[in-house]
Amino acid sequence: MPVRIFDALSPRQPRLQLRVRLPYGVHRLLHDPGALLGLILVSLVVLTALFAEQLAPYGPTEGSLLDAKRPEVWQEQGLEGHLLGTDQLGQDILSRVIYGARVSLAVGFFGVLLASAIGVTLGMSAGYLGGRVDEAISSIVNLLLSFPYLVLVIIIATVFGRNLLNVIIIFGITDAPVFARLVRGEVLRLRNVDYVVAAVGLGAPTWRILLRHLLPNLVGPLVTLMTFEMSAMIFYEAGLSFLGLSVPPEVPSWGNMLALGRKFLYIFPWMSIYPGLAISLTAFGVNLLGDWMRDVLDPRLRRAD
Amino acid sequence: MLVLVFFTVRLTGDPVGLMVARNATPEQREAFRVAHGFDRPLAEQFIGYLGNALGGDLGKSLRLHLPNAELIMQRLPATMELALAALLLSLVIAVPLGIISGVFPGSPLDLLARLIGLAGQTIPSFWLAMILILVFAVNLRLFPTFGRDSLEHLVLPAVALSVASMGQMVRLLRSAVLEVSRENYIRTARSKGLSEIVITLRHVTPNALIPLVSVVGVNFTYMLGGSVYIETIFAWPGLGTLLNDAINDSDFPLVQAITIFIAAFAIGLNLLTDIAYDLIDPRARQR
């Protein structure tokens, strides 16, 4: 079995990582209140998104104009059953915030997945094949990276229609250069490592080197970057909604709620406070989790403190 | 630059479908296409557009019927004022705070620095802007809520716009200081018997500030993007409100002109940053 020779030469990073580092990660998680808080926050948001129907007291677009414009339940004008008040159409703010988690998480999760898939493909090709391929890919990547991100997203979003899939695709494409740059750099470093050179010397096919020897070593930095990019994407989706360029206005997304809330900011401030709080808490949780992942998965960045 | 403009033009695709009313007849569409030159081959359109752009002609706004370049120049001073104020604010707070927090990790000021660093990553600027209005303008009545008349009008928008970059700068400086402190030359300085103050000011700070140079340029262009929200919320008469209005009106030529302008500005700034980097860091010059 000639195939096994290549495997024997490679240090088999993924399994090794799991055996050695998982306990470290768990240890770190239990002793780092920040990481624990991050995990709790993110799990809460994910569960909220998954079980929105069960958790929300009302449907996202359900409401009566008779109940409209009421503040939180603890305020004088508050209405029983509408904990965080209602908007100008009588829709329950709490329910809309709960359903809004779906849009933010969907964009964050699938956007990052698409961006990393494109970025890894481009970055690996550029880093491993080098030469003209590298030049072409790198120049496009650098071009896109030098562009103010928000402006880039705005131009594309004005062309595409307003729906969830388009938003995910836009973020997936525009964010890919960040991943491509990371992967290219890592591949350039790894291709000269002994076990890769040995595998090449033994005549291992390119796909095998890329998938078995390089990709597993990219997992650590990739997952870390994915976490941070996910929180950035949740931000940008809200921003795009805020400008009226993301999902249609009737969809309960946090950015849409803020865009609407801005119009009523002086009279019904509660319409703006809670969706923004939801964005901040989610970003906070994802960032804490990202810090933990970086510490655990990327030993070079492991901090002494 | 050439590639970038071409890229932008290509990305915007066929604007006719977006600019013409949905119920327009094919003949009306065709007439619109011819009137605005969209019937010519893409390469020809591109070369025409490029020639005009290099000559300072960015086309004409569909809604406002004024040259885009003129509209941009009209709004530019307000945006520059806001972005520079925000940049200055981030630097004034982030530089001392980042250095102190790196020199004294674990101190109360370090805690503050880490909080600001976190806030920059977790609080969306447009939400912060609304909260600032609620607290400082509506409840405390300390600052005006919108417009651009006096210095007071600048405070809230500048604070809202600066938080993201302030947080990033604090984080960057803190880790740079921590990293530089471990270098051998710092140990040498210490073993020479230099006081901690001299070491911090003469050896740590200049080296820790080097990475900040590249961040300042990038952050400035990001502020131009972020100004879209902040200007809209505070009704600040700058490029951001112009872009937001153009988006809402589907004023395609204007959206394109503003984005090209910002892109060109960003590239110019990147170039300046690179030059500044070379001047400051001898290591970069050798490469």
Q: What is the pLDDT of residues A158-189, one digit of tens each?
A: 777 778 888 899 899 889 999 999 999 888 88
* Max intra-chain CA distance, chain A: 78
Of B126, B134, B262, the CB nearest to A151: B262
Of A148, A159, A245, the CB nearest to B13: A159
Question: How confident is the model at residue A180, as a pLDDT?
Answer: 93
- Please provide the distance, in angstroms rounded to a whole number, between the alpha carbons at the two ends of chain B: 24
B243 touches chain A (CB under 8 A): yes
Q: Which of A67-76, A168-177, B194-203 tops mean pLDDT?
A: A168-177
Q: Kindly tell me if the per-residue pLDDT of B124 is higher than 70.
A: yes
CB atoms inside a 10 Å sphere around CB A9? 18
Which residue did the predictor score with more confidence, A22 or B186? B186
Question: How confident is the model at residue B44, as a pLDDT?
Answer: 62
- Please provide the distance, in angstroms rounded to a whole number, between the alpha carbons at the two ends of chain A: 47
Which residues face B60 on adjacent strands? B67
Please answer whether residues B132 and B159 qualify as being in contact, where contact means their C-beta atoms are separated by less than 8 angstroms.
yes
Chain B residue numbers touching A147 (CB-CB < 8 A): 4, 263, 266
Question: How confident is the model at residue B85, as a pLDDT?
Answer: 93
- ∠ CA A140-B281-B218, nearest 5°, is 40
Q: How does pLDDT run across A286-300, given as a tens digit for each residue?
A: 988 888 887 777 655
Nearest CA among B176, B166, B172 for reference residue B123: B166
Nearest CA among A148, A144, A146 for reference residue A174: A144
Chain A residue numbers touching B221 (CB-CB < 8 A): 148
Token output for A212? 């078995």
Nearest CA among A142, A106, A44 for reference residue A234: A106
Dihedral (C-alpha) B198, B204, B205, B208: value to the nearest 10 degrees? 180
Please state the φ and ψ torsions of residue A86, each to the nearest 5 degrees. -130, 160
Question: How confident is the model at residue A24, as a pLDDT?
Answer: 66
Query: Which residues, in sequence order, are CB contacts of A163 under 8 Å at separation 6+?
Result: A247, A248
B76 touches chain A (CB under 8 A): no
One-letter amino acid of A305: D
Please tell me which residue of chain B has the smallest CA distance to A139.
B3
Q: Please compute the mean of the pLDDT values over residues A119-128 and round it to a whole number.
A: 91
A165-197 per-residue burial string, b: 16 or more CB within 10 A, e: under 16: ebbbbbbbbbbbbbbbbbbbebbeebbeeebbe
Which residue did the predictor score with more confidence, B30 or B271? B271
Chain A residue numbers touching B160 (CB-CB < 8 A): none
CB contact under 8 A, B122 and A147: no
Which residue did the predictor score with more confidence, B255 or B174? B174
Q: Give the integer Cα–Cα distance in Å for A265 and B124.
A: 16
Kindly report which listed range (A48-52, A89-93, B239-243) carries the lowest average pLDDT score. Answer: A89-93
CB contact under 8 A, B12 and A287: no
Which residue did the predictor score with more confidence, A83 or A183? A183
Give B22→chain A minimum CA distance, Å. Answer: 14
B214 touches chain A (CB under 8 A): no
Q: Kindly tell me if the per-residue pLDDT of B88 is higher than 90.
A: yes
One-letter amino acid of A289: L
Q: Give the integer Cα–Cα distance in Å for A91 and A304.
A: 50
CB contact under 8 A, A154 and B131: no
Q: Give the integer Cα–Cα distance in Å for B138 and B145.
A: 8
Chain B residue numbers touching A148 (CB-CB < 8 A): 221-222, 224-225, 262-263, 266
Q: Give the integer Cα–Cα distance in Å for A17 and A220.
A: 9
DSSP string, chain B: -HHHHHHHHHHH---HHHHS-TT--HHHHHHHHHHTTTTS-HHHHHHHHHHHHHTT---B-TTT-SBHHHHHHHHHHHHHHHHHHHHHHHHHHHHHHHHHHHHSTTSHHHHHHHHHHHHHHHS-HHHHHHHHIIIIIIIS--S-SS--SSHHHHHHHHHHHHHHHHHHHHHHHHHHHHHHHTSHHHHHHHHTT--HHHIIIIIIHHHHHHHHHHHHHHHHHHHHHHHHHHHHHHT--SHHHHHHHHHHTT-HHHHHHHHHHHHHHHHHHHHHHHHHHHHH-HHHHH-
The confidence band for A1, taking pLDDT boundaries of 50, 70 and 90, is: very low
Q: Kindly tell me if the per-residue pLDDT of B145 is higher than 80.
A: no
Which residues face A63 on adjacent strands? A91
CB contact under 8 A, B121 and A283: yes
CB contact under 8 A, A158 and B7: no
Q: Give the integer Cα–Cα distance in Å for B200 and B197.
A: 5
Q: Kindly tell me if the per-residue pLDDT of A22 is higher than 60.
A: no
Average pLDDT of the residues of chain B: 79
Query: Which residues, in sequence order, are CB contacts of B280 under 8 Å at separation 6+?
Result: B210, B213
CB contact under 8 A, B127 and A239: no
Altogether, the residues listed in chain B come to a count of 287
B 84-143 residues inside an 8 A Cβ radius of A: 105, 118, 121-124, 126-127, 130-131, 133-134, 138
Q: Which of A79-88, A147-156, A199-208 tops mean pLDDT?
A: A199-208
Choose, out of A237, A258, A265, the residue to mutate when testing the contact with B (most B CBs < 10 Å).
Answer: A265
Question: How confident is the model at residue A304, as a pLDDT?
Answer: 40
Q: Give the integer Cα–Cα distance in Å for B79 and B236.
A: 8
Q: For the packed helices B239-248 and B205-234, what is the interaxial angle rounded to 10 degrees? A: 50
Q: Kindly tell me if the per-residue pLDDT of A245 is higher than 70.
A: yes
CB contact under 8 A, A151 and B250: no
DSSP assignment, residue A130? -
Question: How confident is the model at residue B13, as a pLDDT?
Answer: 47
Kindly report which listed range (A59-63, A168-172, A252-256) carries the lowest average pLDDT score. Answer: A59-63
Please tell me which residue of chain A has the smallest CA distance to B224.
A148
CB contact under 8 A, A148 and B233: no
Altogether, the residues listed in chain A come to a count of 305
CB contact under 8 A, B18 and A158: yes
Of B11, B124, B228, the CB nearest to A279: B124
Question: How confident is the model at residue A300, as a pLDDT?
Answer: 56
Our measurement of the distance from residue A233's CA atom to the centroid of its chain's CA atoms, rounded to an integer in Å, reads 6
Could you give the 3-state DSSP secondary structure of residue A10? coil
CB contact under 8 A, B122 and A266: no
CB contact under 8 A, A280 and B248: no
Please tell me which residue of chain A has the smallest CA distance to B17.
A159
CB contact under 8 A, B222 and A269: no
Please tell me which residue of chain A has the smallest CA distance to B239.
A151
Q: For the packed helices A270-297 and B125-132, what is the interaxial angle rounded to 10 degrees? A: 140
The confidence band for B70, taking pLDDT boundaries of 50, 70 and 90, is: confident
Q: Give the integer Cα–Cα distance in Å for A229 and B131.
A: 25
Q: Mark out chain A residues that contact chain B at CB-CB < 8 A.
A: 139, 143, 146-151, 154-156, 158-159, 231, 235, 238-239, 242-245, 258, 261-262, 265-266, 269, 272-273, 276, 279-280, 283-284, 287, 305
CB contact under 8 A, B266 and A147: yes
Helices (H), ranges, A160-214: 164-190, 194-201, 206-208
Please answer whether residues A271 and B127 qualify as being in contact, where contact means their C-beta atoms are separated by less than 8 angstroms.
no
Please state the φ and ψ torsions of residue B40, each to the nearest 5 degrees. -80, 160
Please tell me which residue of chain B has the smallest CA distance to A243.
B244
Give B27→chain A minimum CA distance, Å. Answer: 23
pTM score: 0.79
Residue A46 vs residues A29, A101, A103, A286, B142: alpha-carbon distances, Å: 19, 8, 11, 11, 40
B 132-191 residues inside an 8 A Cβ radius of A: 133-134, 138
Q: Kindly tell me if the per-residue pLDDT of B19 is higher than 60.
A: no
Q: Judging by beta carbons within 10 Å of its beta carbon (0-12, 13-18, 19+), is residue B74 exposed, middle or buried?
A: middle
Question: How confident is the model at residue B89, as a pLDDT?
Answer: 94
Chain B residue numbers touching A238 (CB-CB < 8 A): 124, 126
Say what the ipTM of the complex is: 0.77
Nearest CA among A151, A146, A217, A154 for reference residue A177: A146
Q: Give the integer Cα–Cα distance in Å for A10 and A4.
A: 10
One-letter amino acid of B76: L
Give A15→chain B minimum CA distance, Å. Answer: 32
Chain A residue numbers touching B243 (CB-CB < 8 A): 154
Of B12, B121, B134, the CB nearest to A287: B121
Percent of chain A with pLDDT over 90: 15
Q: Give the integer Cα–Cα distance in Å for A13 and B113.
A: 37
Nearest CA among B205, B135, B137, B215 for reference residue B176: B205
Query: Which residues, in sequence order, are CB contacts of A211 under 8 Å at separation 6+?
Result: none
